[in-house]
Chain A
Amino acid sequence: MRFALSGEQEQFSRSLHDLLSSLDTDTANRSWAAGDHGPGLKIWRRLAELGVTALAVPERYDGLGATPVDLAVGFERLGYHCVPGPWTDTVAVLPSLLDDELLTSVASGETLASVAYAPHVPYALDSDVADARLAVGNGRLRAFTPGTLLSSVDSSRRLFPPVTGDDLGTALDADRAFELGCLATAAQLLGAGRWLLDTSVAYAAQRKQYGREIGGYQAVKHLLADVATGLALAEPLVHGAAVTLDRRDISAAKVACGDAAHLAARTGLQVHGAIGYTAEHALGLRLTRVRALVGAWGTPRFHRERVLS
C-alpha cells in the first residue's frame, strides 16, 4: 500500500501548472464562449506537447497508456486553470470507446471529440469544434450531427443537442468510458475548487476593511477553513477511485468534489464581495464552471444512488 502520488505524477502536475500559469486561459475561455476557438486550440496544442492528449491512448496508437491516476492528476490541473474545450470527451472518454487509428490523431492533439452519453450527458460539448462526434447508447456508438447551440450557465461550455445518425458498431468499453468521464469531471471540480480557495485566501490576506485584512476576521477565516477541509477530504476520494475504478468510489468522488467545489465557489464569491460578481474577474469563470460540472457526467442524485446501491 502506498497511497501517495509518485514523483513523476507530482512532476507532471507541476509542469502542467507552470505551463498553464504562463498562458492566458481566462482570455481563451472568453474567446471560446464567443465562438473564437483560436486561443483555446493554441492551449490544446501546447498541452498536447506535454502529453496530456495522449494520456489514455494505448501505446500502439502513439499514446502513453497512462493510468487513471495520471488522468486524474492531469484533469485536476485542467480544472484548476479552467481550460476550455472538450477535454473529458477527447482525453478521458474516447480512448475507451474505440480501438481505432483515429486515436493516433487524438494522441497528437489534432483530433478533438465530442461525446453524448444518454441519459447522463444529453448535450454534447463543443461539437462545433470537434471532428469526432459520437453518441453512446446501449453499448453502441452512433455518429451525430450537432443541433442548434444551447447556452450553458458557463458560457465557455458550448452545448449541442445530438441528432444521431449512422450506427458505428459496438463501443469498446462503454462502461469504462463512462466511469472515466465521471472521474475526469470529479478531478476538474477538485481543481476548480482549489483555485477558488487559493484565490480567496490570497484576496482575504490583502483586502483591508475597518483597518485590517479581512482574512484576520474569524468569520472569514472559518468559512475558508471549511472549504479547505472539504477539498482536503475530496482529493483522496478522487485518487482512491482512480486506483480502484470501483463504481461506488467513482460516485463518491464525484459527489464529494462537487460539494467541495460548490462550497469553494459560494464562499469564494462571498469573500470577494462585489468584485467577484463582475464579469471581469476570473472568479466567475470557475463559479459557473463548477455549477455546470456538478450536473455533468451524472447528477449528484444519480451518483448518490449508486453509492447506496
Chain B
Amino acid sequence: MNLDLDEQTLAFRDEARSWLAANIPAEPLKSFDTAEGFAQHREWEAKLTDARWSVVSWPREFGGRDASLLEWVLFEEEYYAAGAPLRVNQNGIFMLAPTLFSHGTEEQQRRILPKMARSEEVWAQAWSEPEAGSDIAALRSTATRCDGGWRVSGQKTWSSRATFADRAFGLFRSDPESARHKGLTYLMVDLRSEGVTVRPIPQLDGEPGFAEIFLDDVFVPDEDVIGTPGEGWRVAMTTANNERGLSLRSPGRFLAAADRLVSLWHDADRPAHTADRVADAWIGARAYQLYTLGTVTRLADGAELGPESSVNKLFWSHLDVALHETALDVLGPDAELRGRWSDGWLFSLAGPIYGGTDQIQRSIVAERLLGLPKGAR
C-alpha cells in the first residue's frame, strides 16, 4: 500500500498545475445559470479544450490525453485547488460520455464527443418528470416509431442547464404496453428541434439553473438512440452510477473547499464554537480523497463500480452541506451576504436531492450492500 506518485504522474500533475496557474480567468466567471455567464463558460471550455485539459481521461482522438483514472483525480484536485470555474458541461462530460463509451456506437462517439469536449454542444439530463422523480421507472414520456426514427412526446422537468443547453439525453417509453423498467429507450434530443419548448425555472438563488422541457411530437433520428431500443434502463444505470460515483464529484472540489474553510477559520480568529465542525469538514474531505484513491486502485485492478457509488453520494452530499453551513457560521453576521460561501451553500443544499435522494441512496446501501430485506420502494 502506498500513495507515491510515479514520475510520469508527477509530471502530468505539474504540467496541469502550471497551465492552470497561468490560464485561470483573473475575474471569476458569472454564474453559468445566466445567459452571459453561460457564454463565458463556453469560452473557458474552448480554451481548456485547445490545451487538451477539458477531458483528460478520454482517448486522444476525442480531444483527451488518455490519462489514467488516477491522473484524472489529480487533475481535478489541481483544477479546484486553483479556483478554476465549475464545468458547464458536466452532465455531458461526466454522465453522457461514460454512457457513450460503454453503449454508444463509434459513429455516435465520433459525432458527439469532440463537440461535447469543447462545449460547442452543452448537454442537459432529461430524466425527471412531474410524476417520476425518485421513481424514474414511472416515467410517461413516449417515443413512437416512425420513418427513420422516433416521435417523442411528454414532459421532462428539473433539467439542469436546460435553459441554455443545446441537447438533452433521457429515457422514453417506447413500448406503450410495457411497465416500469421495461420498454424504455435512451434517446438524445436536440433542444432546438421543432416541437420542443423549454421553460426556465428559477432556483433558490433566483437564476434559471434548471428547466421544464415540453416535447410535442419531436422527431429524433435513429442515429440518436443509445443502445438497443427498449433496453434503455440498462444503459441508464451506467449514467446513474457515474452520477453517484466519483466521476461527477471528484474529491478535488471538497478538498479545495475544506482547505479554504480552514483558512477562513484561522482568518476569523478561530471562533471556538465552530472548531470541531471545521476540523470535521477537513477530515471528511481527506477521507473522501483517500476513499477515492482506494476506488481508483480497485478499478485499475478490474473491479466495476456498483452500489458502493451510493455510499459516495451519501457521503459527499452530507459533507458538502456541513462544510458550507460551517463556513456560514464562521462568517457570523456577514454570512447572509451573497458571495462565494453563501452561493456554495445554496448549491450544496441540492446535493441530497439530485442524482437520487439521500433516502433512495440509503435504501440502496442497506439492501444491495448490507443485504437487508427488500422493502417497498
**Interface of A with B (CB < 8 Å)?**
1-6, 9, 69, 197, 201, 204-205, 212-213, 215-218, 220-222, 224-226, 228-229, 232-237, 239-240, 242-244, 249, 252, 255-256, 259, 300-301, 304-305, 307-308
By a CB distance below 8 angstroms, the chain B residues around A256 are 283-284, 287
Q: Is B108 an interface residue when CB atoms closer than 8 A count as contact? A: no
Contact of B287 with A252 in the complex, beta carbons under 8 Å: yes
Contact of B275 with A4 in the complex, beta carbons under 8 Å: no
Q: Would A307 and B283 be within 8 Å (CB), given that A1-B297, A237-B290 are in contact?
A: yes
By a CB distance below 8 angstroms, the chain B residues around A5 are 1
Query: Please, which residue of chain B has its CB at the minimum distance from the CB of A239?
Result: B1
By a CB distance below 8 angstroms, the chain B residues around A213 are 372-373
Task: Give which listed residue, A3, A232, A259, A305, contacts B3 with CB less than 8 A.
Answer: A3
Besides A4-B298, A220-B372, A225-B314, 12 other A-B contacts (C-beta < 8 A)? A3-B290, A205-B372, A222-B362, A224-B366, A224-B370, A228-B369, A239-B1, A240-B290, A255-B280, A256-B283, A259-B280, A304-B280
In the assembled complex, the Cα of A205 lies from the Cα of B2 at a distance in Å of 38
Query: Please, which residue of chain B has its CB at the minimum distance from the CB of A231?
Result: B311
* Residue count of chain B within 8 Å CB distance of chain A: 50
By a CB distance below 8 angstroms, the chain B residues around A197 are 370
Contact of A221 with B366 in the complex, beta carbons under 8 Å: yes
By a CB distance below 8 angstroms, the chain A residues around B276 are 300-301, 304
Q: Is B375 an interface residue when CB atoms closer than 8 A count as contact? A: yes
Contact of B279 with A255 in the complex, beta carbons under 8 Å: yes
By a CB distance below 8 angstroms, the chain B residues around A9 are 1
CB distance from A45 to the nearest CB of B (A): 29
Task: Give which listed residue, A226, A228, A233, A304, contacts B288 with CB less than 8 A.
Answer: A233
CB distance from A229 to the nearest CB of B (A): 5
User: How many pairs of residues, A versus B, come closer than 8 Å at their CB atoms?
Assistant: 150
Contact of B291 with A236 in the complex, beta carbons under 8 Å: yes
Task: Give which listed residue, B286, B372, B376, contacts A215 with CB less than 8 A.
Answer: B372
In the assembled complex, the Cα of A242 lies from the Cα of B1 at a distance in Å of 10
By a CB distance below 8 angstroms, the chain A residues around B280 are 255, 259, 304
Contact of B375 with A236 in the complex, beta carbons under 8 Å: no
In the assembled complex, the Cα of A197 lies from the Cα of B369 at a distance in Å of 12
In the assembled complex, the Cα of A239 lies from the Cα of B266 at a distance in Å of 28
In the assembled complex, the Cα of A118 lies from the Cα of B3 at a distance in Å of 33
In the assembled complex, the Cα of A204 lies from the Cα of B372 at a distance in Å of 8
Query: Please, which residue of chain B has its CB at the minimum distance from the CB of A216?
Result: B373
Interface of B is mostly: helix
Contact of B293 with A3 in the complex, beta carbons under 8 Å: yes
Q: Is B340 an interface residue when CB atoms closer than 8 A count as contact? A: no
**Interface of B with A (CB < 8 Å)?**
1-6, 9, 70, 262, 265-266, 270, 275-276, 278-280, 282-284, 286-288, 290-291, 293-294, 296-298, 301, 308, 311, 314-315, 359, 361-363, 365-367, 369-376
Query: Please, which residue of chain B has its CB at the minimum distance from the CB of A242?
Result: B1
Q: Would A221 and B1 be within 8 Å (CB), given that A236-B293, A249-B286, A308-B278 are in contact?
A: no
Interface of A is mostly: helix
By a CB distance below 8 angstroms, the chain A residues around B296 are 1, 3
Task: Give which listed residue, A222, A233, A244, A305, contacts B287 with CB less than 8 A.
Answer: A233
By a CB distance below 8 angstroms, the chain A residues around B373 are 205, 212-213, 215-216
Query: 18 A-B residue contacts at CB 8 Å?
Result: A1-B297, A3-B3, A9-B1, A212-B373, A215-B372, A218-B359, A221-B363, A221-B367, A222-B362, A225-B370, A228-B311, A229-B314, A239-B294, A240-B3, A255-B279, A304-B275, A305-B275, A308-B275
By a CB distance below 8 angstroms, the chain A residues around B275 are 304-305, 308
By a CB distance below 8 angstroms, the chain B residues around A235 are 291
CB distance from B359 to the nearest CB of A (A): 7
In the assembled complex, the Cα of A304 lies from the Cα of B280 at a distance in Å of 7
By a CB distance below 8 angstroms, the chain B residues around A240 are 3, 286, 290
Q: Considering residues B279, B294, B308, B359, which has the most beta carbons from chain A within 10 angstroms of its beta carbon?
A: B279
In the assembled complex, the Cα of A243 lies from the Cα of B297 at a distance in Å of 15
In the assembled complex, the Cα of A36 lies from the Cα of B278 at a distance in Å of 45
Contact of B286 with A232 in the complex, beta carbons under 8 Å: no
In the assembled complex, the Cα of A236 lies from the Cα of B276 at a distance in Å of 21
Q: Would A1 and B287 be within 8 Å (CB), given that A213-B373, A216-B373 are in contact?
A: no
By a CB distance below 8 angstroms, the chain B residues around A226 are 314, 362
Contact of B262 with A216 in the complex, beta carbons under 8 Å: no
CB distance from B289 to the nearest CB of A (A): 8
In the assembled complex, the Cα of A259 lies from the Cα of B281 at a distance in Å of 13
In the assembled complex, the Cα of A232 lies from the Cα of B292 at a distance in Å of 11
In the assembled complex, the Cα of A305 lies from the Cα of B278 at a distance in Å of 10
In the assembled complex, the Cα of A49 lies from the Cα of B278 at a distance in Å of 44
CB distance from A66 to the nearest CB of B (A): 12
In the assembled complex, the Cα of A256 lies from the Cα of B279 at a distance in Å of 11
Contact of B5 with A236 in the complex, beta carbons under 8 Å: no
Contact of B372 with A1 in the complex, beta carbons under 8 Å: no
Contact of B1 with A233 in the complex, beta carbons under 8 Å: no
Contact of B375 with A229 in the complex, beta carbons under 8 Å: no
By a CB distance below 8 angstroms, the chain A residues around B359 are 218, 222
Contact of A216 with B374 in the complex, beta carbons under 8 Å: yes
Task: Give which listed residue, A201, A236, A249, contacts B370 with CB less than 8 A.
Answer: A201
